[in-house]
Each structure stands twice: as structure tokens, then as C-alpha cells.
A = this chain, B = another copy of it.
Amino acid sequence: MLSIEKLNIHFNNFLPLNDEEFDAIASVFVERRIRRKQFLLQQGDVCRHFTFVITGCAKMFAVDQNAKAHNIQFIIENEWATDLSSFYSERPSQLYIEAVESMIVLQISHDDMLNLYTHYPKFDRNFRVIIEQKYIELQDRVLQNISATAEQRYLFFVGQFPHLANRLPLSQIASYLGITPEFLSTIRNNLVKK
């Protein structure tokens, strides 16, 4: 299946696109292949694209003053990989987005995206709903972070994203949970014993 068709199917979850709107996205989204360990965004660069993932997986992370990376989120098939803050402000990003598996993505430039919003209000609607859903997810994660132990957060993660837990190395999941790889290893061990 063509990538642009997969994107169209994605929009069917919200307000489906008509022919004119489909033609509009078909003419501005560009397909790119990304190899494992390649970066979609690096700290200091302005995030100039909205990126839709067709296949593969990326991680978004920040690096602290001790050069430690902290995974903010994983982004997989049918999800959007963008630093919203940098994209809209057009200022240098504080974040990295790196492929943890080889990927196929569709990208739209900043200007084309703003055009899409202006000419076809349906995209305002659809992206409003998309981001609202992401907001709810993120709020849930905050609640976990302030109320649950590392073990509970790990179980929650595995429950919410069972596919991801298998696809990713332990160290990446530990970073996402905000704990050390050593400790996550211990947690897994304890769970097996139970």
C-alpha cells in the first residue's frame, strides 16, 4: 500500500478527507526512508517538518547536563513525530528524535502545514482531536509518575504498549520510565519470581 494511503486511512479515524483534501496532502507530503540510529531531529536544529510514521519506531529524548539521555516518548506506526514547540516557534529544539528501527515516514514542511490549516479547516479539527488524545495519554503518564512505584509504572507501560515492550531494549524502556537499567533488570527479576 502507498504511504499516502496509509495516512489517508489514519485520517478516517477522525473526519475523513474528501478528494480535494486528499490531493492536497498527496501533493505536499514527501516519503523518506530513515535508517536505524539516524536522526529526524537534533538538539539545536529547528524542527521544520511534521512527520507521520508509516513503519518503524523512533524515540524522542532530551540530554541533561550530565550527558544522560531521557526518553520522552516512543513513536510508532500511525503516530506523529514532531517537536511542537520548535515547529511552531521556529526556534532551535532542545530535543532529539532518533530511529530505533529503520523507518518509512511521510513529512510535510512547516509552510505547507500552515497552508493546509488555512485552506482546509478540517485539518484544524483532525489535529485538534489527535492532540487531545495524546494529551489525555500524557496526563495519565504524569499521574503514574507522581503516584506509582517504578514497578507499577513498568507494568502500566507493558499493559498500555505490549508490542513496544518486546520491540525495545531494556535500557530504552528504563530511560522512558525514569529509572536506571540496573533497577529495571531487578524489577523484571522480581516479577518473574512472583
Binding site for B on A (CB under 8 A): 62, 64, 68, 70-73, 84-85, 88, 117, 121, 124-125, 127-128, 131-132, 134-136, 138-139, 141-143, 145-147, 175-178
Contacts and interface: CB of A to CB of B under 8 A. Distances in A.
Contact of A138 (B71, B88, B125, B139): B139
B117 A147 contact: no
A84 B136 contact: yes
B128 A62 contact: no
A13 B117 CA distance: 17
10 contacts: A70-B146, A70-B147, A71-B146, A72-B146, A88-B132, A124-B124, A124-B125, A128-B128, A142-B145, A145-B145
Contacts of A135: 84, 131, 134-135, 138
Contacts of A143: 62, 70, 72
Contact of A147 (B68, B88, B141): B68
A85 B140 CA distance: 10
A135 B88 CA distance: 13
A177 B135 CA distance: 19
A138 B85 CA distance: 12
A109 to B, nearest CB: 18
Nearest to A118: B125
Given A128-B128, A136-B85, A177 B145 contact: no
A140 to B, nearest CB: 9
